[in-house]
Amino acid sequence: MRLKEGAVEFFIPELPDLISKDMEVFYNPFMAINRDFTVLILKAYSKLKAKKLFIADPMSASGVRVLRLLEETDAVEKAFLNDIKKEAIELAQKNLEGHQNVEYFNKDANVFLLENKGFDYIDIDPYGSPVPFLESAIKSLKTGGLIGITATDTASLSGSYPFKAFRRYGSKPLDSEFYHESALRILIKSVIEASFRLDSVLKPVFGFSYRHFLRAFFIKLKGVSKAVDISTKIGYIGYCHSCKFRANYTCILDLPKFCPLCGDFFDYGGPLYIGPIYDNELLNIMKDEDFTYFHKDTIKVFNSILKESSIKSPWFYKANIFGKGIMPKLKDILKDLKATPTHFSPEGFKTDVPFTYVKEYFEKWA
């Protein structure tokens, strides 16, 4: 069947009722937003570096991501597509027919990455967890290069399967109203730690949560001395399920057993990344790009990120956690608490004002 996404048309096998990894050639229409952001950030990154890029898609499937990058940007010098399924590579060749600056491989993704190095951009978008591909991708990425990483195992990262999250990511998820953000920050932490093990440093420059997946982008820094600064931004979030107090801690030994505010049991999540997720220089370039072919949700998420990127707190709030009374409208909350909306939740908002002020504000309404 022939489909359209962004500015391109391409072929895929007939879509089944249930999207799964058992498809002949994998394609998920709900991931169009994921690919929109890849197009957006690659255009901006190419301008930031003032050069065209050598890019790699180790799990290319139908090749639609690379096709869009070739058709919708001027960022690509040469593209390298790989997929372990021969049928996928054959379909990708059909979809990218006419493009000469493309090489195709039919190998395991990790083998492909270890045999081909020096890429300016690598896209890691597996079915499930990206953890098995992190180290080979980091090795294959050149210094100063950009990497995009997707995780679709959001149930474990968000706390539904905490032991699986600990096993895969070495962190304890936090059951809270801001679990989507905590999940993204656990993913970011795990990618940073993987780079540390290889004497490299990956710095987060963009990230978001949408439906069933998390997506984060990183730049590979020059010099392992940068690891010291990045490592200070890995820590824990303490959380009280009774009064909703929360706070950052850089050392687990500093976490109190009982809530400093109400004295009840004090839960925690982490280790996770508690630093800034967004690079302002890159954001400023991204906001001036052409959004014509993007999904309306892509535009909505990005506009929200532009606002919330100024907030330092690694969590967000929802008014209903403070009581069930008649609460103020979100637009009034944003004004009164110097807050911004958040793409993580339509009812959520982010603010840097002290927690006690937020709590007192809502207690007047509850």
**Looking at the predicted structure, is the pLDDT value of residue 20 above 60?**
no
Q: Of 258, 214, 254, 207, which Cα lies nearest the Cα of 235?
A: 254
CATH number, position 79: 3.40.50.150
**Looking at the predicted structure, is the pLDDT value of residue 21 above 70?**
no
On whether both 302 and 325 belong to a single domain, the answer is: no
Q: Among the listed ranges 13-22, 218-227, 310-319, 346-355, which one has the minimum average pLDDT value?
A: 13-22
C-alpha distances out from residue 37 to 7, 136, 286, Å: 14, 23, 10
**Looking at the predicted structure, is the pLDDT value of residue 23 above 70?**
no
**Looking at the predicted structure, is the pLDDT value of residue 10 above 80?**
yes
In DSSP notation, 170-189 reads S-B---STTHHHHHHHHHHH
pLDDT value, residue 225: 82
| Structure tokens belonging to residue 301 | 């998420």
What is the DSSP secondary structure assignment for residue 258, as one 8-state letter?
B
- Taking residues 174-200, what's their average pLDDT? 97
Contacts 24+ apart (CB under 8 A), 356-360: 356/261, 358/317, 359/243, 359/244, 359/245, 359/322
User: Cα(38)–Cα(46) distance, rounded to whole angstroms?
Assistant: 12
On whether both 60 and 89 belong to a single domain, the answer is: yes
Residue 260 belongs to a domain = no
Residue 250 belongs to a domain = no
User: Cα(308)–Cα(300) distance, rounded to whole angstroms?
Assistant: 13
3-class DSSP assignment, residue 28: coil
Higher-confidence position of 13 and 145: 145
The residues with which 267 forms a beta bridge, in sequence order, are 239
On whether both 213 and 331 belong to a single domain, the answer is: no
pLDDT value, residue 25: 65
pLDDT value, residue 286: 98
**Looking at the predicted structure, is the pLDDT value of residue 282 above 60?**
yes
Residue 265 belongs to a domain = no
Residue 247 belongs to a domain = no
Query: Tens digits of per-residue pLDDT, 196-232?
Result: 999 999 999 999 999 999 999 999 998 888 888 999 9
Residue 240 belongs to a domain = no
On whether both 298 and 334 belong to a single domain, the answer is: no
Residue 254 belongs to a domain = no
Residue 11 belongs to a domain = yes
| Structure tokens belonging to residue 288 | 């001036």
| Structure tokens belonging to residue 187 | 């993913």
Residue 250 amino acid letter? T
What is the DSSP secondary structure assignment for residue 94, as one 8-state letter?
H
User: Cα(52)–Cα(71) distance, rounded to whole angstroms?
Assistant: 14
**Looking at the predicted structure, is the pLDDT value of residue 17 above 60?**
no
**Looking at the predicted structure, is the pLDDT value of residue 24 above 70?**
no
On whether both 69 and 127 belong to a single domain, the answer is: yes
Which pLDDT band, with edges at 50, 70 and 90, does 366 fall under?
low
On whether both 299 and 357 belong to a single domain, the answer is: no
Which pLDDT band, with edges at 50, 70 and 90, does 49 fall under?
very high
Q: Of 34, 81, 28, 27, which Cα lies nearest the Cα of 217?
A: 34
Range of the domain at 75: 2-231+275-308
pLDDT value, residue 18: 60
Name, in order, each residue with C-beta under 8 angstroms of 329's C-beta and a sequence gap of 6 or more.
Answer: none
Residue 58 belongs to a domain = yes
pLDDT value, residue 30: 83
**Looking at the predicted structure, is the pLDDT value of residue 288 above 70?**
yes
Q: Among the listed ranges 23-37, 81-95, 193-207, 289-303, which one has the minimum average pLDDT value?
A: 23-37
Query: Tens digits of per-residue pLDDT, 256-281?
Result: 999 999 999 999 999 999 999 999 99
On whether both 23 and 127 belong to a single domain, the answer is: yes
* Residue 81 CB neighbours (<10 A): 27
3-class DSSP assignment, residue 250: coil
| Structure tokens belonging to residue 163 | 């032991």
**Looking at the predicted structure, is the pLDDT value of residue 111 above 60?**
yes
On whether both 107 and 124 belong to a single domain, the answer is: yes
On whether both 42 and 155 belong to a single domain, the answer is: yes
Residue 183 amino acid letter? A
Residues in the chain: 366
Instruction: Give the mean pLDDT of the chain.
Output: 94
Query: Do the bridges between strand 76-82 and strand 266-273 make them parallel or antiparallel, or are there none, so unpaired?
Result: unpaired
User: Cα(104)–Cα(60) distance, rounded to whole angstroms?
Assistant: 10
Q: Among the listed ranges 12-16, 58-62, 109-113, 333-337, which one has the minimum average pLDDT value?
A: 12-16
Vertex 149 angle, CA 148 and 152, to 5°: 145
Q: Among the listed ranges 105-114, 186-195, 330-339, 356-365, which one has the minimum average pLDDT value?
A: 356-365
Q: How many structural domains is the chain composed of?
A: 2
CA 166 to chain centre: 19
3-class DSSP assignment, residue 148: strand
User: Cα(359)–Cα(357) distance, rounded to whole angstroms?
Assistant: 5
User: Cα(102)–Cα(77) distance, rounded to whole angstroms?
Assistant: 9
Confirm if 350 and 313 have CB atoms less than 8 A apart.
yes
pLDDT value, residue 16: 60
Vertex 189 angle, CA 221 and 152, to 5°: 110
Which pLDDT band, with edges at 50, 70 and 90, does 15 fall under?
low
On whether both 196 and 175 belong to a single domain, the answer is: yes
Query: Do the bridges between strand 53-57 and strand 119-124 make them parallel or antiparallel, or are there none, so unpaired?
Result: parallel
C-alpha distances out from residue 5 to 10, 36, 258, Å: 8, 9, 51
pLDDT value, residue 364: 85
| Structure tokens belonging to residue 271 | 């280790």
On whether both 293 and 324 belong to a single domain, the answer is: no
pLDDT value, residue 105: 98
User: Is the link from the previous residue into 271 a cis peptide, with omega within 30 of 0?
Assistant: yes
Query: Tens digits of per-residue pLDDT, 291-343?
Result: 999 999 999 999 999 999 999 999 999 999 998 778 899 999 999 999 999 99
On whether both 89 and 226 belong to a single domain, the answer is: yes
Confirm if 234 and 203 have CB atoms less than 8 A apart.
no
